[in-house]
């Protein structure tokens, strides 16, 4: 892989905004929002909010977010949602431009589009569940919570499948891609299992256990979002078309 005469690395324009900023900002804002909610609830003496069920002593994220910290919850959810979508769109765009390892088949591109659509759906769900809080709009809140979880899981599955097929092309030339693929696969499996457990606990009114699982899900989402920083970081110093000449492990035709 070397610069061509038309697009030498030395002539690449200086970039003041890079795509990897979005997963970084999103993950920092999201974990900051969660910590702000949790620390405030603890500092207030772990109060029992109006939205909490009888016998429940551990607050859900949404219980705290439905009280006077609702503006923080809405703001944090909105910024995180936008950054999540832009992270996936950025990966699609940079692969198309050859600034990170490009897709080599239509199947990979389809999985990429599915992951973006899932992210958009999940992000809309996250914003709306923060607006329609669990205290005033319980049914709507739970509906949008399901939309958020479903959208993120579909997005994660699309990303894992895209990276799996892409990694088969490049596993000899990009160890980073292999690590990223396995990281996202582990996230998908764990989040899927926890989402099922959360649904069962919520249905059976095991609210304290359900609240703990919800907090774990929220924290894990931070790590998933941050993993895209690892994928997009090479584009900070690459130029258009730089990765299009990378030697493939197999012929492209074997991946359609």
pLDDT higher than 60, residue 256: no
pLDDT band (50, 70, 90) for residue 101: confident
Report whether pLDDT(223) > 60. Answer: yes
Q: What is the pLDDT averaged over residues 43-71?
A: 91
pTM: 0.83
Looking at residue 173, what is its pLDDT?
Answer: 59
Q: Greater confidence, 195 or 13? A: 195
Looking at residue 72, what DSSP letter applies?
H
Burial readout 72-109 (b: 16 or more C-beta within 10 A, e: otherwise): bbbebbbbbbbbbbbbbbbbbebbebbbbbbbbbeebb
Predicted confidence (pLDDT) at residue 169 exceeds the cutoff of 50:
yes
Beta strands in the chain (DSSP E): none
**Average pLDDT of 184-202?**
93
9 pLDDT exceeds 70? no
Whether 81 has a pLDDT exceeding 60, the answer reads: yes
The answer to whether the beta carbons of residues 162 and 104 sit under 8 Å apart is: no
Domain edges within the chain: 18-236
pLDDT above 50: residue 37: yes
Residues 162 and 115: beta-carbon distance below 8 Å: yes
| Per-residue model confidence as pLDDT tens digits over 105-152 | 888 899 999 999 999 999 999 999 999 998 889 899 999 999 999 999
Name which residue leads in pLDDT, 205 or 242.
205
Flag the least confident range among 34-38, 80-84, 199-203. 199-203
């Amino acid at each position: 892989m070397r610069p061509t005469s038309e697009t030498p690395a030395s002539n690449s324009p200086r970039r003041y905004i890079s795509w990897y900023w979005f997963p970084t900002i999103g993950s920092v804002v999201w974990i900051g929002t969660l910590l702000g909610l949790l620390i405030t609830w603890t500092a207030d003496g772990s109060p029992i909010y109006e939205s909490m069920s009888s016998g429940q002593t551990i607050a859900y994220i949404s219980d705290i977010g439905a009280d006077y910290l609702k503006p923080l919850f809405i703001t944090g959810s909105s910024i995180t949602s936008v950054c999540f979508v832009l992270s996936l769109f950025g990966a699609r765009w940079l692969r198309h431009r050859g600034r990170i390892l490009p897709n080599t088949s239509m199947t990979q591109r389809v999985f990429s589009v599915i992951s973006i659509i899932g992210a958009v759906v999940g992000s809309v769900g996250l914003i709306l569940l923060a607006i329609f809080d669990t205290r005033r709009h319980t049914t709507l809140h739970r509906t949008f919570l399901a939309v958020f979880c479903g959208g993120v899981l579909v997005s994660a599955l699309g990303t894992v499948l895209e990276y799996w097929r892409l990694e088969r092309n490049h596993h000899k030339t990009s160890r980073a891609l292999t690590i990223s693929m396995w990281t996202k696969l582990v996230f998908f499996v764990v989040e899927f299992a926890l989402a099922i457990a959360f649904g069962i606990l919520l249905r059976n009114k095991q609210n304290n256990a359900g609240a703990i699982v919800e907090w774990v899900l929220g924290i894990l989402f931070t790590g998933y979002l941050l993993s895209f920083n690892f994928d997009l970081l090479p584009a900070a110093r690459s130029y258009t078309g730089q990765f299009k000449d990378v030697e493939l492990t197999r012929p492209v035709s074997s991946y359609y």
